[in-house]
Structure 1
Amino acid sequence: MKKTGTLLLLTAFIFLCCKDSKNTNYLPTSTGAINSMVAVVDNQLWRGHVGDSIRKHFAAPIVGMPMDEPLFSIDQIDPKFFTGSIRNTRSILYVTKDSLNLAHIKKDMYATPQRVGVIKGTTDSEILENLGEKADDIIDSFRASEISAAQQRFERSLNKSSVLQDEFGISLKIPSIYKTGKHEDNFVWIDREIHKGTANIIAYTMPSDSFNDQETLIKDIVAMRDSIGEKYIPGTDVPGKVTYMRTEPAYAPFIYPVEIAGLKGVEVRGLWDIKNYPMAGPFLTYILNDKENDRKLVLEGFVFAPATEKRNDMFELEAILKTLRLGEVMN
């Protein structure tokens, strides 16, 4: 009896292990270009108000960009064709008229990593209501998945420089294609060439008591960026004129609360230009309250690439900046 009991326990253990292995290891790797998604929706719904609502939410223009670029590039497919490898897409929105009225997010249904937003309703009105209520959550889920996928790709070949660790005691997962262009006291500039321009990362610190007045927050942030640009980021030589990077004076930046690596702060998105010279582009700045080191830590990404789309380059910079760690080297 003792042997029989042991055998039964062993068999049950093997069965459970195999079942768990099947659930976690047999899903294919998800696919899809960065910031792309598949909308699985009936052609008739896609051509009507439901399709308009999907595009309104998921293809909305990204804030702080010099020209309209959508949050996601959307490929629509009728449900009857939603088979085979298309199911392995990383971000999927499934919208259908059904006997159920619901909206939720599923994880790793057909591949991994994967997020599937499901919107159902018995009528068009219920579908539209569910889209309105759940779209922001689905977008946040898709973007988090996209950020994670981008960061995993960085692991293939990382920049080994210790310049950020040496200067600020921080580390970022930066692809090896990026190189340090400037390192001065309390300022580091890292960049790489992209199509028709450059993608850039800068880092510096400010006193811990900076930006404590909410009423002047935007003004103070603009003043900080402009002073840093004037000191460290010169523009093209123009006889008789001073040129440097500043915050585009015609457009106030957008500000949102953020938390990265346990540090609370603000995310700032807007446009930069070169004073007295026709150059401009988007920027993304994180100002983080680093209480332990009695400072405000400032990390910024900006892109210069005239007359080209910049969404994916800015997204890569965002993914890099969100790998922030304090006090450790990430090799």
Structure 2
Amino acid sequence: MHKYILILLAIAFGCSESAREKNRKDMLPTARGEADEIILVADSTQWADSLGLGEELRKTFMAPMLGLPQDESLFNVSKVNPRRLNSVLKSAKNMVFVMTLDSKTADSRVLQRFFTDQSLNQIKRDTSIFMRTQRDVFAKGQTVMFLFSATEDQLEKKISYNRSQIREFFEASARETIKDKLFNSPKKQLTQRIKDTHNVELTIPYGWEKARDLKNFVWLRKMDAETEQSIFIYYEPYTDRGIFNEIGEFRDKITQRNLYDGENPEVHIKRQDIIPVFTERVNFNGHFAVEARGLWKISDNSRGGPFVSYTIVDEEVGLVYYVEGYVDSPGTRKKNLVRELEAILSTFKTKGDITPNQEDAS
């Protein structure tokens, strides 16, 4: 009997905690700021270090996005003194708190107040932990990362070693924010037509239209007075893993065959060789893939811009997919346009993703 009373009390306590947390979040203001804006709260002395922790933080958050024609930093970072952190700054969309126990400045003493005594003792004892992430700390829809260590040297090394993981946390958050805005009114009919014709799925925002539709290729684009964004999907039988070592050549084959001037087929889209194509192996929705970033141009040199692509293998159905988004927007900053393409491309699903495995179905 007592056991059941304890269980009921535990359930009641859990429900009470959940209710309190819900009430707390309901009282919070809504987070403000753009998807890639970060308020970074750090010791001013550490931030000013051009060789140590401050430099590692700048390399992590303020490095240029790869594959753009002009330098644009991955995130728009505003460094804030912890002693000047007010309610307006606390409602930022993204925040990073940086703290080390060996710093005895007034800034660091303020930063340490964001940690419980239990947390501070754990940081002293366990050098393996250096990062914690939370949602909705000071505002609804907010993303917060705490970077910490017993010593500045330890944290500097942890950030350097885990740079990709730290970036991806905020890049994923930015994609979700952008997707929420883009997909308020998705083009469901166009999405369904592509699914019916090509056995793939892509969530398509309002304003996009189909430009070309061939046997194993579809091209979509959105155009306004100054900017054009395009996405294309290509697929063929998967025969050789070596294709991942020749992403540029694979792209050239696709664009020369499918992205050409209807009146002058000799004029087509190709790579620019001003910068190399940057590639990285990634997990794309559970599939092995290679992400590529670079610059494209029309073969007559009349236009050009950045592109981001994913070469994806679906071994269950024996197909390799190439999905790309590219931007044509002369004289403008292009990072946000590329991020929009990344958000759309992230919704891509292969034939195997949308067709249930027969064995699983049974």
TM-score (norm. length: structure 2)? 0.77
Residues 1:254 and 2:278 aligned together: yes
Query: Which moved further from structure 2: 110-119 or 168-177?
Result: 110-119
Residues 1:318 and 2:342 aligned together: yes
Residues 1:265 and 2:296 aligned together: no
Check the 8 A contact 1:103/1:134 in 2, yes or no: no
Give the counterpart of 2:182 among 136, 142, 154.
154
Identity %: 26
Q: CA deviation at 1:183?
A: 1.7
Unaligned runs of 5+ in 2: 103-119, 124-128, 356-362
Q: CA deviation at 1:147?
A: 1.8
> Hey, what does 1:89 align to over in structure 2?
92
| Coordinate RMSD, CA, aligned | 3.1
Check the 8 A contact 2:35/2:173 in 1, yes or no: no
Q: 1:115 to 1:133 in 2, by over 3 A?
A: farther
State how far apart, in whole Å, the 1-side matches of 2:262 and 2:37 are: 36
> Hey, what does 2:360 align to over in structure 1?
none
Query: Which moved further from structure 2: 12-21 or 180-189?
Result: 12-21
Residues 1:229 and 2:255 aligned together: yes
Unaligned runs of 5+ in 1: none
State how far apart, in whole Å, the 2-side matches of 1:114 and 1:166 are: 38
Q: 1:127 to 1:16 in 2, by over 3 A?
A: closer
> Hey, what does 1:275 align to over in structure 2?
299
State how far apart, in whole Å, the 2-side matches of 1:202 and 1:39 are: 37
Give the counterpart of 2:212 among 157, 160, 182.
182
Query: Which moved further from structure 2: 100-109 or 269-278?
Result: 100-109
What letter matches 2:133 in structure 1? K
Deviations 1:190-221 (A, max 9, x none): 11136722111101112211x5326x822xx3
Deviations 1:72-105 (A, max 9, x none): 1101111122231422333221123435666212
1:1-331 alignment, distance < 5 Å: 13-24=11-22, 26-27=24-25, 28=28, 29-49=30-50, 50-99=53-102, 103-108=130-135, 109-121=137-149, 124-160=152-188, 161=190, 162-193=192-223, 196-209=226-239, 211-213=240-242, 217-218=245-246, 221-234=247-260, 242-326=266-350, 328=354
Q: CA deviation at 1:158?
A: 0.8
What letter matches 2:166 in structure 1? I
TM-score (norm. length: structure 1)? 0.84
Count of residues in correspondence between the two structures = 320
State how far apart, in whole Å, the 1-side matches of 2:43 and 2:181 are: 34
More strand as a share of residues: 1
Query: Which moved further from structure 2: 118-127 or 15-24?
Result: 118-127
